[in-house]
Chains A and B, each alone.
Chain A
Amino acid sequence: MSAPLPPDDLSGIRRRLADSRGRVFWKSLEELSGSARFKEFLEREFPEQASEWDDPEGRRDFLRVMGASLALAGLTGCTRQPEEKIVPYVRAPEDELPGRPLFFATAVVDDGYARGVLVESHMGRPTKVEGNPDHPLSLGATDAFAQAAILQLYDPDRSQTLTYRGEIRPWGNFLAAMHSAVAAQRAAGGAGVRLLTGTVTSPTLIGQVQEFLATLPGARWHQWEPAGPHQTSGLQHRIEAADLLLSLDADFVGAGPARVRDARAYTSRRKLQPGGPAMNRLYVVESAPSLTGALADHRLAVRPSEVDRIARAIVGALDGGVASAEPGHQAWIAALATDLQRHAGRSLVLAGEWQPPAVHALARDLNQRLGNVGRTVTYSAVPPAGDAFGSLRELAADMDAGRVSLLVVSGTNPVYTAPVDLEFSARMDKVGLRVHLGLYQDETAERCHWHVPEAHTFESWGDARAADGTVTILQPLIAPLYGGKTAHELLAALTDRPERTAYEIVREHWQTGGGLGGDFERAWQQALHDGVVRAPAAEGTATLPAAPTASTTPAAAPFAAAPVAAAETQGLELAFRPDPSVYDGRFANVGWLQELPKPLTKLTWDNAALMSPRTAARLGITTEATSRGTTTDLVLLRYRGRAVTAPALAVPGHPDETVTVHLGYGRARAGRVGSGLGFNAYALRTSDAPWSGAGLEVAKTGERYTLAVTQEHWSLEGRNIVRAATRAQHERDPHFAARLGHKPGRELTMYPEHKYEGYAWGMAIDLNSCVGCNACVVACQAENNIPVVGKDQVARGREMHWLRVDQYYTGAVEDPDTYFAPVPCMHCEMAPCEVVCPVAATVHSEEGLNDMVYNRCVGTRYCSNNCPYKVRRFNFFLYSDWETPSLKLGRNPDVTVRSRGVMEKCTYCVQRINHARVQAKNEDRKVRDGEIQTACAQACPGRAIVFGDINDPRSEVARLKADPRNYGMLEELNTRPRTTYLAAVRNPNPEMPDQPALAPGTASHG
């Protein structure tokens, strides 16, 4: 609008008034003055340019200008703002405080067995999984799979729609189709109906299935779990009670549904705390390197078929016989037998999942002889998984014979995982109507008529048993993102009452089944709150009163059978193992797990044909570390008339003349992340020899393949990075760790000292308690919004993990000692990174944290170069996914999502520290010891990582740092790391022929 008019001079107004005739009405002096400016003002009072419309020429100009302006205005609107509706809570949910997370108890169920967890929920969005301290199989810790469940929940590639022959259909159509399909079967008593599920421990689901089978007596229920556990014979072991452990290919800390509890139990005897329990001793006979083998005090790597013979020889040696059957291992077995006898009643023999029933029977026999039953071993009545292979074989035969007309597959992917000799896929095509419930539109979904998207565990009501029988009622954290259904709802769809929700079904089961005791409502609430059903009835029948004696051992016959024929062991042996990262393939589309360096190989994004260095050399395999990844030879694995091509990788400590392959790769329809990675080991696996077999031929193809391996050097190079001693050495010289290094005096610096008057955060990592399981790595990734970078970037050395588990070998390459060392940021008091950053983007906090200021970082990478621990990670590209909506939901809202071009690293979970500090300040107290747990410490099954205030002498971390085993990695550089390590102590039997190579880290001077 025009500017206000200055009144014209009064003389002019007077003149005009004098000239006027009659009465003049005026509103203002301006009007009175009658100036041209006032007339213009009147004309233009309303919209600017309005007057232009009256003038034909002006109008044209006006339109021209307006048109151009509109066109240009459009240019500024390139980013259209999303239309958003704000709906305030009418009634706020109970306990919901913005910015304050809530925790709900539920469980993750991976192979049928539950591990109790607490899930952190921010404003209704689950963001992080923690262990449930009340759950006996979790004890507050988790494993990598549980940590990654969050990413699977938000996986944008999950199946999102119910389809019939690939076309989208509503749930109602499905119900109708199921109703008529089942009705058609009713006449024949359901003889053509087959249910195929994974291992089911859910009491509700078992009830539902039994109910269904009762109405259709001809129907069959098959359970298929490709990676087991298949041999849950009701054995329950108490590792913490055993002074001596013998594992016959049993990877109890690295695999199996009880691994978290067992790792805790094992490490509880390795803490070396004054007044604590005495150290245990672990013997491992194994056919492929495993985490348990890495922890062993004595380890014997043999071919899979030899485990049986070794076990027999041990039994024979206990009988006083000479282990003559085992040339080369007599001394080992004899010393072991002596030690076993010495620890009778306090020892424990475990047979591994990968061994045939005969070895399990031998283990049972050994425990019996040694009097361990009732002490370290008990037998309980967990529903056994049954003979999965036999069951699947039967189903395949039925399908082939045309006896199956309705197949309902729930939560398993047999087209991909079934043993290759069953030709499952082709036979399944003969079934008239095929229904699939699954998280993904996977290989099986592709071949089924109906596909129903499955609700993720965190979206579902349900229940499940843990490996010890403990029942957890699963509660959803969030409504199904994609309208997924649970197995309960699927089964209900086959019955007369199809419209029930999972909540109703589960509640009804517990209400009518009476498993929760008297006051149902109260007990239900309590069970949901605790994440554990405490009523005795829920625990199944208690421990069996009498353990079977040796004579009644079910597998007594195979024990008596002759040892494996020598002819069969000619040539190479092939061993199958579930993948440590993607398990049987179900986690193939979870980026965190794909990028998780597998223990012992540090391989990511691929599987490989693992073999011993000697076998690799014999086959002429060469591996080269390059700047674009580790290149290796592609080999053709020919086995029982089938062949796959796989990259070969030598692993120290692998038994000779054996090749180990991991299942779970070579997926065709895993999703955008997991499809087409690695090779499919299932293509070699037959139902008669699921875990190992002889007759493998390996031939180089002449082609090379690039693997993304995060650690390429396994030798300590004589450096004192990892310090270790034997138990005897430790007892003789508790200060051995300090003697292995050189700690410069505090006066040796030119920079002024920092003063830490309040808190001084620090961390102690007990190398004796680290089992190398990787749970901390994924926990860190989940907590700190760490991006996944992909195979190519990992191969180029650009992985982003803030915490890595370093792994070193000492001793001979055939049988090395393995040490794990988790390496987070050291938060050095004299940090080399801080002084070199030109823009002061990494600075020291007054509590001793080495803070990283993302906003200020320009990305010179000098800090990373100057970090002797190489814990800094750089965003070479825009690694974080800023686009995918579902992934945004899962991020930790307390942690910045980093952009391209900035450095990042471990913060000691500063967001948790700040949270606790604020809380403590509000309550006018100091932060209590243990109140802050970093994500890694919280996840750790071995409680190897302890975090706290080192200024508080009573804190756990201060106590550990006062332990004589405590040392700083590379402390000779005078970096004064806040993260320190407690040296490893191994407990070898001095009578054994293989003594640890030990003393990694010879005394040196910086």
Chain B
Amino acid sequence: MATRPPEPRGDLARDALPPPPGAELLGGDHTLASVTEKIASITLTRRTPWGWFLGFAISFTLFMGLLWAVVNLLFVGIGVWGPNVPVGWGFDIINLVWWIGIGHAGTLISAILLLFRQQWRTSINRFAEAMTLFAVACAVFYPVFHTGRPWLAVYWLFPYPNTMGLWPQFRSPLIWDVFAISTYGLVSALFWFVGLIPDFATLRDRARSKPWKIAYGMLAMGWRGSARHWHNYDTAYLLLAGLATPLVISVHSVVSLDFAVGIVPGWHATIFPPYFVAGAIYAGFAMVLTLAIPLRKFYGLEDFITMRHLENMAKVMLATGLIVAYGYMVETFMAWYSANEYERFMIWNRMTGPYWPMYAALILCNVVMINTLWVKNLRTSVPYLFFISFVVSVGMWLERYVIIVTSLHRDFLPSSWGMYSGTAYDWSAFVGTIGLFLTLFFLFIRFLPVISIFEMRSILPEAEAKENA
């Protein structure tokens, strides 16, 4: 039973909405009570399935690989990874950009779709936001530990007053990164936490054991569900959405400037910011799909995460994927059109040089495969969507590999050309961050409501009726 009455009014976004096509957003025959029960039971009452333990164990083991790689890195040196001269960055920055990109879907779903009043976001926004946070956690690992002296990098990159009057170089895109990513992480965390407060209160009220009551009670921050609370809550949530919205654009734009500001052929391109943002959303939605499909299956959440959700996400992927493909096209065109010998060589080397398989695979993933989503049958096939979401994730990783490695490995002076490949430590750290990500995600599934309870209830016909009454 719900411990508090369904809120009599929705947020601002919902107020102005036409009656939702509820059936598509919410399957089955649900009532307010059943929605709460269904979602809260995952955390509170149901036995933790053995699959959870298995998944957690695997993820945690992978995560230990990260620990191994990092301990080695700290004691032996960054040389255990693959970078060299000329390829000064490798897996470190590839993975940084990959993870940051994945995080984007969460913010987009939470903030932009909220502002655009896309009600279908409701059932996926909670775990998409969680995913954002975890992805950012994985991402920030790289810029810190890829430096030669992480123990200094971890604070020297911040502008803090010191007796030597030393400041960071504000012209460096890496400093912009520091601000962009830290802001992003902070706002995302706030947004996620604020969204969780009413649900924490629900869990507090439904928890049966004292420790859980206390734990959820502290997290609920005294939420009682009064009208005043709801009023403040809606305002705060909307404001945070407003704050987060520019971040969707800015973070990956700034990350792309790490490359665009450099003079390396293959990096020095003005198209990078929009093309990176599109790529980020593309990758992010793929990751949401990767997570949502097993989640709804194993926890029986097909009623909440319906085919309409999946199809919408596929459409977003198709749209952003096409923007990314356009980016590749423009890069190639500009290399020819600029008549710059270094640019021309760079693109030719990408296509035919030693890393051509990477580029070919990239085109296959991000240009060829994504176009299959035009077909409705494929777009609405859950197994296919699961598959394509992996293809996109791989494709986006390859994209960063191609941009970073193939641009650096043959730049201006042929005498300095070289080759790059990741080492066992690189792979271990990469797989380890995936382990970290999944570990956090498993903990999240276990201890927090994976779907926003109160928001789900607001799209019930029941709530609609009361609201309209």
Which A residue's beta carbon lies closest to that of B261?
Answer: A836
User: Across the interface, do B79 and A798 meet the contact criterion of CB distance under 8 Å?
Assistant: yes
User: Across the interface, do A839 and B414 meet the contact criterion of CB distance under 8 Å?
Assistant: no
Which residues of chain B are within 8 angstroms of A877 by Cβ–Cβ distance?
76-77, 79
Which residues of chain B are within 8 angstroms of A797 by Cβ–Cβ distance?
84-87, 418-419
Which residues of chain A are within 8 angstroms of B333 by Cβ–Cβ distance?
none
User: Across the interface, do A719 and B414 meet the contact criterion of CB distance under 8 Å?
Assistant: yes
Within the assembled complex, what's the spacing in Å between the Cα atoms of A862 and B143?
11
Question: Any chain B CB within 8 A of the CB of A316?
Answer: no
Which A residue's beta carbon lies closest to that of B410?
Answer: A713
- List CB contacts (< 8 Å) of A842-871 with chain B: 856-862, 864-866, 868-870
Q: How far is the CB of B343 from chain A (nearest CB, A)?
A: 10
Which residues of chain A are within 8 angstroms of B421 by Cβ–Cβ distance?
626-628
User: Across the interface, do B172 and A837 meet the contact criterion of CB distance under 8 Å?
Assistant: yes
User: Across the interface, do B147 and A870 meet the contact criterion of CB distance under 8 Å?
Assistant: no
Which residues of chain B are within 8 angstroms of A711 by Cβ–Cβ distance?
415-416
User: Across the interface, do B175 and A838 meet the contact criterion of CB distance under 8 Å?
Assistant: yes
Within the assembled complex, what's the spacing in Å between the Cα atoms of A861 and B86?
10
Instruction: Specify which of A712, A836, A900, A1005 is in contact with B262 (CB 8 Å cutoff).
Output: A836
User: Across the interface, do B149 and A807 meet the contact criterion of CB distance under 8 Å?
Assistant: no
Which residues of chain A are within 8 angstroms of B354 by Cβ–Cβ distance?
625
Q: How far is the CB of B48 from chain A (nearest CB, A)?
A: 43
Which residues of chain A are within 8 angstroms of B85 by Cβ–Cβ distance?
797-798, 864, 870, 872-874
Instruction: Specify which of B148, B263, B340, B413 is in contact with A866 (CB 8 Å cutoff).
Output: B263
Question: Any chain B CB within 8 A of the CB of A31?
Answer: no
User: Across the interface, do A627 and B172 meet the contact criterion of CB distance under 8 Å?
Assistant: no
Question: Any chain B CB within 8 A of the CB of A110?
Answer: no
Question: Any chain A CB within 8 A of the CB of B435?
Answer: no
Query: Which stretch in B161-169, B293-301, B458-466 binds the other chain?
Result: B161-169
Contact bitstring B391-435, A, C-beta under 8 A = 1, else 0 = 000000000000000001011111111111100000000000000
Question: Any chain A CB within 8 A of the CB of B225?
Answer: no
User: Across the interface, do A860 and B153 meet the contact criterion of CB distance under 8 Å?
Assistant: yes
User: Across the interface, do A858 and B149 meet the contact criterion of CB distance under 8 Å?
Assistant: yes
Question: Any chain B CB within 8 A of the CB of A796?
Answer: yes
User: Across the interface, do A627 and B156 meet the contact criterion of CB distance under 8 Å?
Assistant: no
Chain A interface bracket (under 10, 10 to 19, 20 to 34, 35 or more):
35 or more
User: Across the interface, do B419 and A839 meet the contact criterion of CB distance under 8 Å?
Assistant: no
Q: What 14 new A-B contacts, CB under 8 Å, besides A627-B82, A839-B156?
A: A627-B418, A712-B417, A719-B412, A836-B171, A836-B172, A836-B174, A836-B261, A839-B169, A857-B148, A858-B150, A858-B157, A859-B148, A870-B86, A877-B79
Within the assembled complex, what's the spacing in Å between the Cα atoms of A638 and B310?
69
Question: Any chain B CB within 8 A of the CB of A504?
Answer: no
Question: Any chain A CB within 8 A of the CB of B88?
Answer: yes
Which residues of chain A are within 8 angstroms of B78 by Cβ–Cβ distance?
859, 876, 901
Which residues of chain B are within 8 angstroms of A718 by Cβ–Cβ distance?
341
Which B residue's beta carbon lies closest to that of A806?
Answer: B415
Question: Any chain A CB within 8 A of the CB of B89?
Answer: yes
Within the assembled complex, what's the spacing in Å between the Cα atoms of A970 and B82?
28
Which residues of A are at the interface with B, using a C-beta cutoff of 8 A? 625-628, 711-719, 721, 793, 796-798, 804, 806-808, 821, 823, 832, 834-840, 856-862, 864-866, 868-870, 872-878, 900-903, 969-970, 973, 1004-1006
**CB-based A-B contact count at 8 angstroms:** 181
Which residues of chain A are within 8 angstroms of B172 by Cβ–Cβ distance?
835-838, 862
Max chain B CB contacts within 10 Å: which of A857, A861, A864, A1005? A861
Instruction: Specify which of B157, B410, B413 is in contact with A868 (CB 8 Å cutoff).
Output: B413
Max chain B CB contacts within 10 Å: which of A628, A836, A856, A872? A836
Which residues of chain B are within 8 angstroms of A840 by Cβ–Cβ distance?
166-169
Max chain B CB contacts within 10 Å: which of A713, A858, A865, A901? A865
User: Across the interface, do B84 and A627 meet the contact criterion of CB distance under 8 Å?
Assistant: yes
Number of chain B residues whose Cβ lies closer than 8 Å to a Cβ of chain A: 55
The 10 closest A-B pairs by CB, nearest first: A859-B148, A901-B148, A876-B79, A797-B84, A861-B88, A870-B416, A838-B174, A806-B415, A858-B153, A877-B77
Which A residue's beta carbon lies closest to that of B178?
Answer: A838
Q: How far is the CB of A6 from chain B (nearest CB, A)?
A: 40
Within the assembled complex, what's the spacing in Å between the Cα atoms of A288 and B412?
30
Question: Any chain A CB within 8 A of the CB of B16?
Answer: no
19 contacting pairs across A/B (C-beta < 8 A): A626-B421, A712-B417, A717-B414, A836-B172, A839-B168, A840-B166, A856-B156, A857-B149, A858-B148, A858-B149, A860-B148, A861-B88, A862-B89, A862-B172, A865-B408, A870-B416, A874-B88, A874-B148, A1005-B339
Which residues of chain A are within 8 angstroms of B341 by Cβ–Cβ distance?
718-719, 1004
Within the assembled complex, what's the spacing in Å between the Cα atoms of A979 and B149?
31
- List CB contacts (< 8 Å) of B245-270 with chain A: 258, 261-264
Within the assembled complex, what's the spacing in Å between the Cα atoms of A875 and B153?
16
- List CB contacts (< 8 Å) of B281-319 with chain A: none
Which residues of chain A are within 8 angstroms of B412 by Cβ–Cβ distance?
719, 721, 868-870, 970, 973
Question: Any chain A CB within 8 A of the CB of B375?
Answer: no
Question: Any chain A CB within 8 A of the CB of B193?
Answer: no
* Given A837-B169, A837-B172, CB of A869 within 8 Å of CB of B413: yes
Question: Any chain A CB within 8 A of the CB of B345?
Answer: yes
Within the assembled complex, what's the spacing in Å between the Cα atoms of A793 and B88?
14
Which residues of chain A are within 8 angstroms of B143 by Cβ–Cβ distance?
860
Which residues of chain A are within 8 angstroms of B340 by Cβ–Cβ distance?
1005-1006
